[in-house]
């Protein structure tokens, strides 16, 4: 028996694939507590990623840490001042 295309079914399957994707993984505020504390100690995002990896914590990319820092700056935060080249942006 042949199956006909069903838009709702295709949409459901696409949502399921997206929810299983690693790209869809989100980090909570709790997940950023340690990286934020290390940033305030003037660690670089690359150092933080290495530390998390060696210690067995859930890892994140240095790009994600930079995005977090610039978002914090947009909201009036001061994390960007702890970056080594903070005056460039």
Give per-residue pLDDT as tens, 55-86: 988 888 999 999 999 999 999 999 999 998 75
All structural domains of the chain with their residue ranges: 27-88
- Secondary structure of 48-63 as H, E, C letters: HHHHHHHHCCCCCCHH
Q: Residue 47 has what DSSP assignment?
A: H
**Whole-prediction pTM:** 0.66
Q: Which pLDDT score, from 0 to 100, does residue 59 have?
A: 82
Say whether pLDDT at 34 is over 60.
Answer: yes
Say whether pLDDT at 24 is over 50.
Answer: no
Q: What is the dihedral of CA 21, 24, 29, 32, to 10 degrees?
A: 70
């Amino acid at each position: 028996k042949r199956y006909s295309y069903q838009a709702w079914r295709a949409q459901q399957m696409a949502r399921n694939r997206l929810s299983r994707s690693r790209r869809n993984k989100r980090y909570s505020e709790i997940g950023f507590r340690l990286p934020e504390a290390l940033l305030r100690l003037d660690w670089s995002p690359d150092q933080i990623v290495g530390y998390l990896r060696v210690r067995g914590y859930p890892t994140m990319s240095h790009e994600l840490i930079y995005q977090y820092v610039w978002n914090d700056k947009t909201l009036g935060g001061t994390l960007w001042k702890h970056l080594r080249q903070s005056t460039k942006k």
